[in-house]
Each structure stands twice: as C-alpha cells, then as structure tokens.
Amino acid sequence: MIRRSLLIPVSFVLLTLCGASRGLATLSCNDCTCSSSCSLTCFDDFGSSTCGLHGVCSGSSGCGGGGGGCLTAGDPGTLLDLIQADPGQAPLTDHPGGRVLARLTWRLAQYVEENGLGSVYAGDTAFLLSKMTGRVGAPTLAFVSREHLQAGRSWSGAPDLAVELRTDSVRDWLQAGTRAVVVIDAAAHTVAVYRSRSKPQVFGSQDMLKLPGILPGWALRVGELFE
C-alpha cells in the first residue's frame, strides 16, 4: 500500500516536469516533428537519443541549434511528401523492363562485388536529392562507390550511378551529384547514358556499354539485356 501511494505523486511530478520542460526534452521520439529541433532529447525502447538520429533534417545543413526540423518515423506523411515519386502512385514496371533490370542487376552486382568497387542497391532505396530541403528519391537501381562508403558508415548522398527506365528524374539525379544516369528503353532495345554538361550517349544492341570513370573494367554488350 505504501509503495502504491508513492507512485501516484511521483508520476504526477514527472508528468508536470515533462510538460514544463517541453522545449528541452521530448518524452517520445514519435513526438518529434518538423517543428522540433534536431537537438531535442527523446526516449524510445532503446534509451535516450535525439530527434536528429531518428530522421532526416529538413531546412538546415545541420541538426544542432534548432535551425530547421526533423522528419521522423512519427511523421510519415511529411516524409512521403518529400519522396520524389509517391510509391502508391508510381507507374509499375512492365515485364520486359523488369526482366532487363534483373539481368543488369545481376551483371552489375557480381562485377562490383568481385572487384570490391562498392555496393549495388535495388529499387526503393532512398538517396538524398537535396541537402537544403531534405528531399529524397529512389532510383530503379543504384551504385555507390567504395570511396563514398568509406567516407561514412552509410552513404545518404546521391549515388555515383543511377539506373532508370524513364528520363523523368535524370536532371534531379545529376543536380544532386550523381556522376551518370543510365536510362533503359526496353521497347527500343537501347541504353542512354546521361552526364552533366554533356550530350547523352545512346547505345544500341551491338554496342558495348562502358562506364570507365565509375566502373573501371566493366563492359556489357547492350543486346545481352534484351535477348
């Protein structure tokens, strides 16, 4: 009985303190929103952390000082608004396009892994398109070089190489810092390579696709993707 009677005032005091110090601490990490500072302390099942560790900062270059807010798991609607294409509305890949992507993924991933060049990422992997707005996008296929992976435990910037089935996002990736964007036209059996400040290169079925500045030594006859 004594223990129970003590719990009531203690709980009351804790709630009062949390309410009074809302600007200094956040009780649950799910309460972090874009209006919260990235430096706010929050608590989850793993202990105490900050809002900045649970999401992407928006509106500022850093997480400290209260400049800009954070996007967190507790604010999925805002996060989806920043995705380049809403997954629920994005056009589905047809069978020819899906088959071509599977073949390219296999050939690319095998070469990259065997030569220790970096990592290949499947579709729906988010990469940062803009540090100023926190806008992200997901290419159909992506490659990140070993140098970028070594710079940080996980690379959140633009990929070195993005592969798409449409040209809609080519400019966005190049402006974000992607070194080359490969666009596959499954109907025409062609592959186009886009780079900043240069005209796109179009490769036919008999041409060899090479990306020496990004994937040294890698080559693929374009027709193998469509056979």
pLDDT tens across the length of the chain (227 residues): 444 443 334 333 333 333 333 334 445 666 666 556 666 666 655 555 566 544 444 444 444 444 445 544 444 444 445 444 444 445 666 677 789 999 999 999 999 999 999 999 988 788 888 877 778 889 999 999 998 887 655 566 899 999 999 999 999 999 999 999 999 998 899 999 999 989 999 999 999 999 999 999 999 999 999 98
The burial of 61, by beta-carbon neighbours within 10 Å (0-12 exposed, 13-18 middle, 19 or more buried), is given as exposed
Distance CA 118, CA 114 (A): 10
One-letter amino acid of 167? T
Extract the tokens encoding 182. 């490969």
Distance CA 10, CA 12 (A): 5
In tens, the pLDDT along 120-144 reads 998 878 888 887 777 888 999 999 9
Q: Where are the beta strands (DSSP E) in the chain?
A: 41-44, 47-50, 55-58, 69-72, 118-122, 127-128, 136-137, 141-145, 161-164, 180-185, 190-194, 201-203, 208-210, 219-221
Which residue shows structure tokens 């223990």?
3
Distance CA 159, CA 71 (A): 21
Distance CA 69, CA 84 (A): 20
Q: List domains and CATH numbers for the chain.
A: 2-81 (no CATH), 95-225 (3.90.1570.10)
The chain-wide mean pLDDT, for the chain, equals 73
In tens, the pLDDT along 26-64 reads 456 666 665 566 666 666 555 555 665 444 444 444 444
Instruction: Determine the 3-state secondary structure of 71 from DSSP.
Output: strand
